[in-house]
Structure 1
Amino acid sequence: MSNDEDWYQRYLDMQNEYDYENTTDASYVQSKPVQLCSKESLNNFGATIIPVFYYVNFLLSYLGNGLVLFIIYKYEELKSVTNIFLLNLVLSNILFASSLPFWATYHMSEWIFGLALCKIVSSAYFIGFYSSILFLTLMTFDRYLAVVHAVAAAKSRKRAYAIIASMVVWCISIIASIKELVLKNVSENQFSGLMCDESGYPDSTMARWRLVTYYQQFLLFFLLPLFMVMYCYISITIRILSTRMKEKCRAIKLIFVIIFTFFACWTPYNIVILLRAIQISNPGEGVSMCSEEESLDYALYMTRNIAYLYCCISPVFYTFVGKKFQSHFRRLMAKNIPCLKRHVSLNSQSTRTTSQKTPHSTYEY
């Protein structure tokens, strides 16, 4: 081998050694190890428990909301503000519940309904969910106006006001859910099969949109409604205590039950939502990250279904505490179950007598 060839060989050896040292350097390959969290136990939990929750919510929602809808159609007219809001609340809950069988099937196997239904069902799910919360808040505010500002509200609480307010609620809910139409796609996972999830964009974009969704949920659809519900019902309680209403104790108890139920159902879910947002903003590392993520996923599954259950049964809760709807329900039962006719008639007569003796019918919950 000539000197030139020997020199060239030594140069190649040195270059290969230099390349090897740089490519095997940990900082050259990656800044830190990638931790992949196992989701097997969580997926098994979701496949067995979540479909049961969803089907129960679906059945309760259709039975309860369907009954309220039938009573409104049979015995009421859509001239009052309360009935217009109640009808919209029922429709929003039915829209939300209609998506639950799709998600139950998805949790049990994979997404088998195609791209179009992936986007439509996801949008319907969130539109119904958001509008249900807002209509509950709107009904509470309307009740506050009718009780605390009865004289001024008598002039402003017209049918046009109810229709416009309902349209505003639907518009806000649709705008808040528009990202589902854009981001939802059907993708194939080698372990889970076909998935209906947010995909097709960089991970950083997905993370930012998840943060927007979580903070939107916590601030706009939890804190704001909670403060309004608390303020309105505390004001109504103070107003009732200042009157000579004979059944004020019953009304105050019902107000307490409404506030407590709203707070108990919604707070755990939204606390988990806030923790998920914090986790995305400040991700952990290693085993602790996987443990925290798994714990939050389990908590999200459980608390979310409690919140969803409240959405499904809320129309029944808000209507059948009222004497008028109780009377309608008795009439309906007496008509379809003859053996209850005499007992129901006596109760209805007693209710009418009590109502005549109560001067402030607005306060009767």
Structure 2
Amino acid sequence: MDDFFPSAYMTTEMDDYVTQDPLDYSGDYDTGPTQATGMCDRSWVRQFRGWYEPPLFWTIFTLGAVGNLLVVWIYSTVRNRLKTMTDVYLLNLAVADLLFLCTLPFWASDAIKGWEFGRGLCKTVSAVYKINFFSSTFLLMCISVDRYIAIVQVTKAQNWKEKRLFYSKLACVAIWVISTLLAMPEFLFAQVKTGLNGTSFCVMVYWNNANNRTKILVLTLQICMGFILPLLVMVFCYSVIIRTLLRARNFEKHKALRVIFIVVFIFLASQLPYNSLLMVEASQAANATITDCAMVKSFDVAGQVAKSLAYTHACLNPFLYVFVGVRFRQDLFGLIKSCSRRMSKDEIPKISMVPIRPSVVTDTETTPALSL
């Protein structure tokens, strides 16, 4: 999609523009000054992308679609209405992941045979991808805040129950608006670029200004808003939750701690490598120091792997944040059991909501606690 360290190897069809961001494999060669040769052969990187990305993207798309559609189905048919803050956030998270997953087939096709869908769809798909990237991370952040309130501020959580539900819906509206604003660079700078081999690609093409200020600003905004801010909030909330649970005399304490560590670990494992490379790229845009062709190709490949790792979060979210909830699992198993009895299509499965052990993932009527 985009390109690491293009300042060392620029091919500009338009004098006023330069390419950016992670992964632009728009041509097999990029000309420019290098320490080794005057021309960097990057055809192998292009071939690697065509071999590596499509099967992985389709796998993420399939698994993520099944998991997130199940979430939407349960909330829309079994529960009928959103009762808690967590319900609101989880439903919006599933919708955001589904919209994000819808962009992966386009990028899979782009990796194999280039961009064949026109400039308008290039901008739209790029913007939709970035909107749902930001909204997903913001929603994960809100879920951690909601768990903090439910476990650490138990009395306030009970007293402000109705207000919390209203505020959660308001927060979701704000998240979608802010995410759309943060995706404006995709609307402005996404272009269809033709490489030296005649193949077209959908890439980010930034205005060529002093010291690549536009590129650095966009990358910095993505790193800070899409990774550092949610990470700091999640670390703070879960740290306080862990301290509270350690003091509590609760037989579910160890299960709760396990869920927290898994959630934070998966977020770091999927997002840290990609954002680390974005930091290096922003630094490179400010002061180009990497000019060796082999090094550039290595970072290109690393960017592909890190990007695809970040994408896996879309198919893991249902299992991390929804399916671990006792109530949701009960709803799902009841729905499967009802379907197995070949119920008529017009009959909505009725699942008895028997009392269960509370779970922070489901934010039940009583004091929540994480469970697996």
> TM-score, length-normalised on structure 1?
0.81
Match of 2:289 among 252, 273, 284: 284
Contact persistence 1:129–1:311 (CA under 8 A): no
Shift of 1:312: 2.8
Matches within 5 A, 1:37-116: 37-76=40-79, 77-116=81-120
User: In the aligned structure 2, how far is the partner of 1:98 from the partner of 1:295?
Assistant: 29
Q: 5+ unaligned residues in a row in structure 1: which ranges?
A: 1-31, 340-347
Amino acid at match of 1:195: F
Equivalent residue number for residue 151 of structure 2: 147
Q: Does 1:169 align with 2:182?
A: no
* SS at 2:249 equivalent: coil
Contact persistence 1:65–1:313 (CA under 8 A): no
Structure with the greater alpha carbon radius of gyration: 1
Contact persistence 1:323–1:364 (CA under 8 A): no
Output one character per residue of 1:98-151: Cα deviation in whole Å (capped at 9) or x when no partner: 111011111111111111111111100100111111111111111111111122
User: In the aligned structure 2, how far is the partner of 1:223 from the partner of 1:297?
Assistant: 23
> TM-score, length-normalised on structure 2?
0.80
Equivalent residue number for residue 318 of structure 2: 315
Q: Does 1:188 align with 2:194?
A: yes
Equivalent residue number for residue 185 of structure 2: 179
Equivalent residue number for residue 6 of structure 1: none
Shift of 1:301: 0.6
Shift of 1:355: 2.5
Shift of 1:78: 1.6
Amino acid at match of 1:165: A
The alpha-carbon distance between structure 1 residues 230 and 148, as it changes in their structure 2 partners (threshold 3 A), is: same
Output one character per residue of 1:289-344: Cα deviation in whole Å (capped at 9) or x when no partner: x22221111111111111110133213320111110111121122123359xxxxx
The alpha-carbon distance between structure 1 residues 271 and 202, as it changes in their structure 2 partners (threshold 3 A), is: closer
User: How many residues are treated as equivalent by the alignment?
Assistant: 321
Q: Does 1:223 align with 2:228?
A: yes
Q: Which shifted more, 325-334 or 74-83?
A: 74-83
* SS at 1:355 equivalent: coil
* SS at 2:99 equivalent: helix
Q: Does 1:124 align with 2:137?
A: no
Output one character per residue of 1:262-286: Cα deviation in whole Å (capped at 9) or x when no partner: 1222111111111111222221365
Contact persistence 1:355–1:361 (CA under 8 A): no
* SS at 1:37 equivalent: strand
RMSD: 2.6
Contact persistence 1:241–1:248 (CA under 8 A): yes
Shift of 1:43: 0.4
Output one character per residue of 1:53-107: Cα deviation in whole Å (capped at 9) or x when no partner: 2111111111110011111112222232111111111111111111110111111
The alpha-carbon distance between structure 1 residues 364 and 190, as it changes in their structure 2 partners (threshold 3 A), is: closer
Match of 2:219 among 211, 214, 218: 214
Contact persistence 1:110–1:192 (CA under 8 A): no
Q: 5+ unaligned residues in a row in structure 2: which ranges?
A: 1-31, 343-350, 359-363
Shift of 1:352: 5.4
Contact persistence 1:90–1:315 (CA under 8 A): yes
Q: Pick the structure with more helix per residue.
A: 1
User: In the aligned structure 2, how far is the partner of 1:337 from the partner of 1:45?
Assistant: 44
Q: Does 1:355 align with 2:360?
A: no
Equivalent residue number for residue 259 of structure 1: 264
- Identity fraction in percent: 29
